[in-house]
Amino acid sequence: MNNKIKKHGFIFSLCFVFLCVVACSSDNGTPEEVKTETKTLTADVSKIDFEAKGSAASVTVTTDAKTWTISSNATWIQLSKNSGIKGTGLVAITALENTTTVTRTATVTISSSETASVQITVSQVGGVVVTGLYPSYNTNPIADDATGMGSTAAQLAAKIKLGWNIGNTLEASGSETAWGNPKVTKALIDLVKANGFNAIRIPCSWNQYANATTAQINATWLARVKEVVQYCVDNDMYVIVNIHWDGGWLENNCTDAKKEANNAKQKAFWEQIATQLRGFDEHLLFASANEPNVADAAQMAVLNSYHQTFIDAVRSTGGKNAYRNLIVQGPSTDIEKTNLLMTTLPTDKVPNRMMAEVHFYPYQFCLMDKDADWGKMFYYWGAGNHSTTDTARNPTWGEEADVDKFFLSMKTKFVDKGIPVILGEFGAIRRSNLTGDALTLHLKSRADFYKYVVKQAKANGIIPFYWDAGGDFGVNTMSLFNRTNNTIYDSQALTALQDGLK
């Protein structure tokens, strides 16, 4: 820094120059002002216009300040460096491909603590549909927002105690009430929370509410799903929103022939769902699918592509979705198939935010309602619950030893590697057409099954979500609650689930 000193009177010898710089005063006794040289900071461009396709431009920064920084206010802008020093520096500014139809803008700011900042205005025209099938619905991506999103998948899983499915409702074909359940109310969610559940899985249908040509989801339906999510979050409950069976467009078509079309629809749907629900914090999780039918490695590869599209679509919307925990389903959500075929997982630019999902229904005990030539229905389950008079209905598999084996395989494959497992569905039909001792033993078997599944799931780092289809309270129901009057319907089953947590 150069200082100019006015001097009057005698000229001091050189040995006193330093003292003069510090203490010298003008003839009127006022300390002389120290003048600072102004620094400069410039960029060789003030505006950049990008084409829709991803491209780059160079900016030359010149300054005599000691240091400078450069930043952007948009996630679709990438910078080759974020700082520089005195002299001339070159920065490459790259715009990612604009897959929307809308022109977007951003600002790049170059700053130094020693002088005024410089701004460069960036714009990029809208592009065309990547797949050629549907328009992009990621029309307003926003900056990443980590607020309220601090938990990794493992940390979040540790907060979930017991989950409950709003089954046969928001995924029902025709309308929310088409399968015999009333519309979901806040009072219902309050009832579920009051009875020991702190997580809700919301099976959702989207395809029937979307335009067949454009894949645009009806805004009223998006708002309705958001409303139900809000009921849960208001109760400090964790929520999973998925694309459920949904007419089978994805679940029944994990094939090379349908791969391109289904990935296009998966992308379009999740861009809309993720954007609509982007404001919720980590209480909300997204799940790619439900029970995708997969029989071999080739179909598993197609399923992984659907999962990859899901992850990329959600992340691309920005905001809290940049950090949201996401769930991918194993083949057919079958534990044995998942252990065998799910050898790789999709990639995610955000580490430690992925969970896997399987379901558990030992079929002959849990779901089978008619004998077949290959086997019979099991009415009973568990040590001490085998009938001495109705031996044909005693189980030959799927009991405690199998639960232990299956759940341990998921712990070894996923949980021990930092990937929590969601047991997205489990349950057993209530065979209330039985009578006398057979009914009593069946109901005890069912309660013991629930308690054991919850207990062993938690012991292996697996998060259990009970399947409750609601509706009919006749034979073969799994209902815990009467949704019409918001009361407990099956207290024995509910108590068993709660006991599994003890």
- For the chain, counts of helices (H) and of strands (E): 11, 17
Q: What integer pLDDT is reported at residue 103 of this predicted model?
A: 73
Residue 132 half-sphere exposure toward CB, CA atoms < 13 A: 1
pTM: 0.76
d(CA 378, CA 431): 10
What value does the mean pLDDT take over residues 14-21? 36
Q: What integer pLDDT is reported at residue 101 of this predicted model?
A: 54
Q: What integer pLDDT is reported at residue 340 of this predicted model?
A: 98
What value does the mean pLDDT take over residues 271-289? 98
d(CA 491, CA 462): 24
CATH superfamily for domain 153-499:
Glycosidases (3.20.20.80)
SS3 247: helix
Q: What integer pLDDT is reported at residue 32 of this predicted model?
A: 47
Q: Is 291 noted as a catalytic residue in this protein?
A: yes
- Per the CB < 8 A criterion, the answer to whether 115 and 181 are in contact is no
- Per the CB < 8 A criterion, the answer to whether 34 and 3 are in contact is yes
- Radius of gyration, CA atoms only, the chain: 31
CATH class of 41-124: mainly beta
Residue 264 has what DSSP assignment? H
Q: Report the DSSP pairing between strands 481-482 and 487-488.
A: antiparallel
Q: What integer pLDDT is reported at residue 126 of this predicted model?
A: 63
Q: What integer pLDDT is reported at residue 57 of this predicted model?
A: 86
What value does the mean pLDDT take over residues 392-407? 98
- Amino acid (one-letter) located at 330: G
Chain-wide mean pLDDT for the chain? 91
Query: Taking 70 as the threshold, does the pLDDT of residue 130 lie above it?
Result: no
Annotated catalytic residue, options 271, 291, 357, 399:
291
SS3 208: helix
Q: Strands (DSSP E) along 73-161, which ranges?
A: 77-79, 83-95, 104-112, 115-124
Instruction: Quote the distance between the C-alpha of residue 149 and its chain's center.
Output: 11
Domain spans of the chain, in order of start: 1-37, 41-124, 153-499
Paired tokens of 429? 């039909």
- pLDDT band per the 50, 70, 90 thresholds, residue 2: very low
Question: 361-397 b/e with 16+ CB inside 10 Å = b?
Answer: bbebbbebeeeeeeeebbbbbbeebbbeeeeebbbee
Of 126, 128, 130, 124, nearest in space to 74 by CA: 124
Residue 309 has what DSSP assignment? H
DSSP string over 395-460: -SSSSHHHHHHHHHHHHHHTGGGT--EEEEEE---B-TT--HHHHHHHHHHHHHHHHHHHHHHHHT
Instruction: Quote the distance between the C-alpha of residue 39 and its chain's center.
Output: 47
Task: Give 150 or 114, the one with higher predicted confidence.
Answer: 150
Residue 453's Cβ-count burial label (10 Å; 0-12, 13-18, 19+) is buried
d(CA 465, CA 461): 13
d(CA 118, CA 47): 11
Q: Nearest 5°: phi and psi at 25?
A: -130, 160
Least confident of 21-25, 112-116, 286-290, 450-454: 21-25
Q: Which secondary-structure segment (H or E) carries 157?
A: helix 153-159
What value does the mean pLDDT take over residues 66-84? 91
Q: Is 114 noted as a catalytic residue in this protein?
A: no
Q: What integer pLDDT is reported at residue 13 of this predicted model?
A: 39
Q: What integer pLDDT is reported at residue 99 of this predicted model?
A: 65
Q: Is the dihedral of CA 231, 234, 238, 240 positive or negative?
A: positive
Paired tokens of 6? 């006015």
What value does the mean pLDDT take over residues 156-183? 98
| High-pLDDT (> 90) share of the chain, % | 82
Annotated catalytic residue, options 251, 282, 357, 425:
425
Neighbours of 112 (CB within 10 A): 22
What value does the mean pLDDT take over residues 478-492? 97
Q: Which residues contact 89 (CB under 8 A, 6 or more apart)?
A: 60, 61, 62, 68, 81
Query: Taking 60 as the threshold, does the pLDDT of residue 24 lie above it?
Result: no
pLDDT in tens, 182-211: 999 999 999 999 999 999 999 999 999 999
- Amino acid (one-letter) located at 386: H
Question: 420-440 b/e with 16+ CB inside 10 Å = b?
Answer: bbbbbbbbbbbbeebeeebee
Query: Taking 80 as the threshold, does the pLDDT of residue 142 lie above it?
Result: yes
